[in-house]
Amino acid sequence: MSAKQFSSVWLREPRKATSPGRSREEIVGAAMELLDQEGLSGLSMRKLGAKLSSGATSLYWYVANKDELLELAYDEIWAEMTLPDPEDSGWRDAASGLAHSMRQVMLRHPWSADLLGRMPALGPHALLIADKMRRMFKLAGFGGLEIDYAGATLTGYVFGMTLPEVAWNAAMADQDYDADEMRASVVKAAAQFPDILERIDMDTYDDPRAVREMCFDFGLVSVLDGLERRLVT
């Protein structure tokens, strides 16, 4: 039995537009708008065709299926990420800048979180970020496979911290809970845990977004401290 052949939109030449004003870039841009508005479940070739005032069947000239369309859209989010030049800022500041940028892009395009791990990142923008990150860690002093391990550690931290935040934002998007009522519910549930109650019963409450930002930065600094320590041991 022969193995299943791997396929990707990036493994073939893009087809040229069949009519003036229509291009793969335009189709991908419209797809991203739908994804941002309605998420993965809201994207279909039919809806996209209607948005572009074009039949769904005509879109198949540019992409073989919905997965190929998602590959193209997925690569565009990597184009929005920024990685400062480590030769100018130092590798730690560059890594921090990239991590914060990755988090913001995922929060801006929450549908991308559902593609992590199941959608190949073989597009030019994703590969450019991967290449820059490798050079950043090589400049830091890592060598061999440790360059890849360092990159996986950084991205793993970003994804691990951001995915629950994306899920929480989605769950709360259409809710209008009273903050004081929610705190009262947590107090009741945590009645046997005084350390938790001490935090809940503070007289003033920080902005949840600011707290999440500070929490992310605290963990990120700790990760970078750990990576830096490996360079001197």
Phi/psi of residue 106, each to 5°? -65, -40
Tokens matching residue 124: 């030019």
Asked whether residue 32 is domain-assigned, the answer is yes
Say whether both 168 and 185 belong to one domain. Answer: yes
- Parent domain of 23: 9-76
| Cα 79 to Cα 178: distance, rounded to the nearest angstrom | 38
Tokens matching residue 92: 């730690």
Q: Number of folded domains in the chain?
A: 2
Q: Which of 57, 76, 95 represents a domain boundary (last residue)?
A: 76
Residue written as tokens 């040229």? 16
| Cα 68 to Cα 72: distance, rounded to the nearest angstrom | 6
| Cα 198 to Cα 37: distance, rounded to the nearest angstrom | 39
Say whether both 57 and 146 belong to one domain. Answer: no
Asked if residues 84 and 94 have their Cβ atoms less than 8 Å apart, the reply is yes
Asked whether residue 2 is domain-assigned, the answer is no
Q: Is the pLDDT of residue 208 over 90?
A: no
Say whether both 105 and 187 belong to one domain. Answer: yes
Quick one: pLDDT at residue 214? Answer: 92
Say whether both 36 and 116 belong to one domain. Answer: no
Asked whether residue 186 is domain-assigned, the answer is yes
Question: 47-95: per-residue pLDDT in tens?
Answer: 998 888 876 667 877 788 888 899 999 999 999 999 999 999 999 999 9
| Cα 33 to Cα 74: distance, rounded to the nearest angstrom | 12
